[in-house]
Amino acid sequence: MSGYRVREMTLADCDRVAEIRVGGWQWAYRGLIPQAHLDAMSTREDADRHRTRFRQGKPGVLNLLAERDGETVGWLCHGPYRDGEVPPGSVELYALYVDPLHSGTGAGRALLHESIRRCSAAGHTRMYLWVLRDNARARRFYERSGFRPDGVEEPYEVAGVAVPEVRYVRELTG
């Protein structure tokens, strides 16, 4: 799909994943999240958090990377649904970020396609995700990928500013 190779993340990938995540936040959330918060994000601290989580190895959590020509350009993480009541067989997409220089090239689609394939093969029947209510670009991406808002909204706050999230769901097939 789109010339991207999707593979599982290793501990050695944590620095690059942090660059992608922080760069993704700073690009995608400009104007949605306070700029001072985005400017203060640290790839070093983020990489340390990724290393800690990776070493903990929580059951069912999977990190995938998209590569093209030997360069890692995207990261996705999914696992068990974290909060609240959802039907059995559900999984949650925790994160999907692409290096801003590769936005719109198919890296995100390749990651999401592989995540859905693996979740379906594992017997999951639906995938949930949370997206900022005002993030129109991300919402269009997920809607084109078969996700729909399910009417659940959560308050979310960053640096004292409300940035509510909406929940999306997609039914999966085996």
**Domain CATH code at residue 71:** 3.40.630.30
- CA–CA gap between residue 84 and residue 161 (Å, rounded): 24
Q: Where are the beta strands (DSSP E) in the chain?
A: 5-8, 62-68, 71-80, 90-98, 126-132, 148-154, 157-158, 161-162, 165-171
Which of 42, 50, 49 has the alpha carbon at shortest distance from 9?
Answer: 50
Distances (CA, A) of 33 to 21, 77, 103, 156: 15, 22, 19, 11
**What pLDDT is attached to residue 11?**
96
The residue segments making up the domain with residue 148 are: 5-171
**What does the pLDDT look like over 56-110, one tens digit per residue?**
988 889 999 999 999 999 999 999 998 777 778 899 999 999 999 999 999 999 9
**117 Cβ contact partners less than 8 Å away, ≥ 6 residues apart:** none
- pLDDT at residue 58 in the model: 87
How far is the C-alpha of 32 from the C-alpha of 133, rounded, in Å?
10
According to the model, what pLDDT value does residue 2 have? 65
| Type of residue at 32 | L
**pLDDT of res. 1:** 47
For the whole model, what pTM was predicted? 0.93
Predicted confidence at residue 41, as pLDDT, reads 96
The pLDDT of residue 174 is above 70: no
Residues 110-160: tens digit of each pLDDT: 999 999 999 999 999 999 999 999 999 999 999 999 999 999 999 989 999
Number of domains in the chain: 1
Q: What is the rounded CA–CA span in Å between residue 132 and residue 122?
A: 28
- Name the β-bridge partners of 95: 77
Q: What is the pLDDT of residues 18-60, one digit of tens each?
A: 999 999 999 999 999 999 999 999 999 999 999 999 999 888 8
Separation CA 117–CA 45 (nearest Å): 32
Higher pLDDT, 123 or 2: 123
| Angle of helix 43-56 versus helix 14-28 axis, rounded to 10 | 130
